[in-house]
Amino acid sequence: MNEYSLFGEIIHMDTKRFTPAGMPVLSFRIRAESKQSEAGLKRIVNVDIESVVIGELANNDFKMGNKFSFFGFFDKRSKKSTHLVFHVTQIKN
């Protein structure tokens, strides 16, 4: 399964753009901070995740600093790339 959820803050936003077919696309970066347990040790994890919203969800009024629960999947930036991008398909307050 390639389904993920995380709670985080929008820390960077690009300008909304449109595909050649007119579909809105918004790229942004999410900062997620959490406490995790690994091999019996507790640690604080801070990650910045490149993300994208495509379609009607991209028309929401997102602002830097907004915090949400993000749901979606990971895919490569392009067919030739190895860089992963989080494709957000649902956002909850």
Question: What does the DSSP 8-state code read for residue 66?
Answer: -
The pLDDT, as a whole number, for residue 56 is 95
Q: Which of 71, 64, 66 has its CA nearest to residue 91?
A: 71
Tell me the one-letter amino acid at 21: A
- The answer, yes or no, to whether residue 61 has pLDDT greater than 90, is no
Residue 56: left (phi > 0), alpha (psi -120 to 50), or beta? alpha
Nearby residues of 11 by Cβ (< 8 Å), 6 or more positions away: 29, 30, 31, 48, 64, 65
pLDDT band, very low/low/confident/very high, at 68 (cuts 50, 70, 90): very high
The pLDDT, as a whole number, for residue 69 is 97
Q: Which of 1, 15, 2, 13 has its CA nearest to residue 68?
A: 13
pTM for this prediction? 0.89
